[in-house]
Amino acid sequence: MVNYGGDEVSALVLDIGTSTTRAGYAGDDTPKAIIPTCYGFKKDPSAEEDVSMSEAGQENDASPKKDKIITYVGNNGPTIWHDGMEIAHPVRDGLIEDFSPIPALIGHAFRDIMRCEPKEHPIFVTEPAWNTAANRERMAEIMFEEFEVPAFYIANTGVLNAFAAGKGSALVIDIGHDTASVTPVIDGFVLRKGLVHSALPQLVRAHAHHHLTSQNSARPGIQLLPHQLIASKMPVEPAVPPNFTLRSDRESGTTETFRKWYEDREVEEWIQGVAGVLDQGWNEQFAAQRGARHYEFPTGYNYYFGAERYLVGEQYFSHSPQLVASNPNLPKTIPNLITQSLSACDPDLRQVLMGNVVLTGGGSLFAGLSERLSNELARNFAHVKIHAPGNPTERRYGGWLGGSILASLGTFHQLWISREEWQEHGKKIVAQRCK
């Protein structure tokens, strides 16, 4: 108990991200349940069907009153095709926009996957550093009122990422699914003035989507069809038009949001699998020298992607002039974010922050990104030290891991907001306790 200051109170840690929701026990090194945050829903034609559908255990009623809507959550939720199923994203810009599916998501993660009852455990929730007061209070409300947890705490991911890296003060560069953020953390607290974030990963994905689907001199535009719609396909040589048959029975029932969600997923997969960034700035020759990489799409079309795969990563560091000219409100690049964040910080702190740069988030696993970033930073700052965990789990679930560490510390337990306090003080206790 006294070793390393840890004291297990079997707390649960919940980290709701844009792409995945992570849940697990405090003190573990990886989350037990990792489920997509997006969910499928459709209007229920009849109440009877609702009963028959619930046997699979992947779907939950959003609320018993609106019994006309069935939601599909979890790992087998949005990925399984349903006739007329729409896909929705409750989290936008890192913030929870739509709270209606959140209880279902949380319940699914805790009850169906972890097989534990939230009523018996203190729950530790994460939030982005730019979370609104209303949002976190709503979260506390869900936890206390719907899940009846005995104790609750909410901490922000910037601080937790710093803790996961073992640092009290750090400049956390978190590249997530939708948002890239730079958070200065000093003595375990976020400096809100230096906090910046941008929707850069969305731009990168949109650009990659456009690049893949549009025709160029070497290949035709690629069809990003979901594999759920493909009945059969024949293996083909690289760069040869695909040979596949569609499931015509499903075509009419496939919604636009499902297609969009799938395309986004496919592009993301392509980026993670193939794309990279050169460590010394854009150079066509170097990019060509690196060699091509093979990728096969669900249609069976496969291709060796050469220098073009390195163009994708450049977007993180610089925007092409024509892009800037066409769109003045572009999301800021990572170096821009860092300089903006640092200039808002006290000069006394800059040296500390640059010596403790923590690179985290699933988007940062992009091939060559950490090398490029360290090169970029070394050009502008003296004594830069980047901490980028080599373990992909640690990088992707850094926020959860920090929460797991924090919630298992003996010194932390005095910070929990108890049910009693919630009932006594109401919403304002959240802001009081969680600074």
Partner 1 sequence: MSANDILDVLNIQRDGVNQPAKKKLKSNDQVAHSRQTGMARELYNLLGPNTPPINLSNNNNANSREKLAFKPSPWTRMPFKANSKNAHGPQLYHWVKGSKEFLERESKEKSYFFDKYNVGVELPELVDEELFDKFMDEIKEDRKASEPKQEQPSEEKEEQGQNKSSDGEKDGQQDANGVSKDKSETDEGDKQQTSSEKDNEVDDWTYEETKELFELCKAFELKWHLVFDRFRYEGRTLEDLKDHFYKLCAKILEHQENSNPSLIESLQSYSKTKETERKKYLESLLKRTPAEIAEEESLVIEARRFELAAKKMLVERSHLLTLLDSPQSSQSVQQYQSSQGLANLYNNLMILDKHQKKRQLQQQQRSNIPTNQGPVPPPIPVAASSSFKKDRTFQTHLQQYLSGLLKQQQASGVNLKHESSAIQQLLAKRLTVKEEEAYGIYYHANEKLTPGVILRSTQKLPGLQQRQSVLKSVNNVLQELDIPTVGGTNWKPIMPTRKTMTKYDELLRSVVALLDVKRGKDKLESEIKLIKSQRGLQ
Which residue's CB is nearer to partner 1, number 202 or number 418?
A: 418
| Shortest CB 341 distance to partner 1, Å | 12
**Binding residues among 156-215 for partner 1 as defined by CB under 8 A:** 186-187, 189, 191-194
**420 counts as binding partner 1 under rule CB under 8 A:** yes
Q: Where are the alpha helices (DSSP H) in 34-172?
A: 47-53, 102-107, 133-141, 157-164
Asked if residues 278 and 284 have their Cβ atoms less than 8 Å apart, the reply is no
**290 counts as binding partner 1 under rule CB under 8 A:** no
Looking from the CA of 297 toward its CB, the CA atoms found within 13 Å total 30
| Shortest CB 316 distance to partner 1, Å | 22
The residue type found at 52 is S
Strand, coil or helix: what is 272? helix
**380 counts as binding partner 1 under rule CB under 8 A:** yes
What are φ and ψ of residue 321, in 5° steps? -60, -40
> Which positions from 314 to 353 touch partner 1 by CB under 8 A, shown as an x/- string?
--------------------------------xxxxxx--
Which residue's CB is nearer to partner 1, number 193 or number 294?
A: 193
| Shortest CB 433 distance to partner 1, Å | 10
| Shortest CB 67 distance to partner 1, Å | 35
**119 counts as binding partner 1 under rule CB under 8 A:** no
Which of 38, 128, 42, 127 has its CA nearest to residue 89?
Answer: 38
- How many chain residues are in contact with partner 1, going by CB under 8 A? 38
Asked if residues 373 and 173 have their Cβ atoms less than 8 Å apart, the reply is yes
**283 counts as binding partner 1 under rule CB under 8 A:** no
**130 counts as binding partner 1 under rule CB under 8 A:** no
**410 counts as binding partner 1 under rule CB under 8 A:** yes
Strand, coil or helix: what is 228? helix
Which residue's CB is nearer to partner 1, number 270 or number 416?
A: 416
Q: How far apart are CA 110 and CA 41, in angstroms?
A: 20
What is the distance, to the nearest Å, from the Cα of residue 184 to the centroid of all Cα atoms in its chain? Answer: 20
The residue type found at 199 is A
Which residue's CB is nearer to partner 1, number 301 or number 412?
A: 412
Cα separations in angstroms, 428 against 96, 125, 129, 156, 434? 19, 17, 18, 17, 10
**28 counts as binding partner 1 under rule CB under 8 A:** no
| Shortest CB 189 distance to partner 1, Å | 5
**419 counts as binding partner 1 under rule CB under 8 A:** yes
Which region among 140-148, 237-245, 384-392, 418-426 touches partner 1 (by CB under 8 A)? 418-426
Q: Where are the alpha helices (DSSP H) in 192-255?
A: 200-213, 248-251
Which of 335, 317, 370 has its CA nearest to residue 204?
Answer: 317
Q: Where are the alpha helices (DSSP H) in 298-397?
A: 308-314, 321-326, 334-343, 347-354, 369-380, 392-396
Which residue's CB is nearer to partner 1, number 233 or number 413?
A: 413
**Interface positions with partner 1 (CB under 8 A):** 1-2, 5, 7-10, 122, 150-151, 186-187, 189, 191-194, 346-351, 379-380, 382, 410-411, 413-414, 416-421, 424, 435
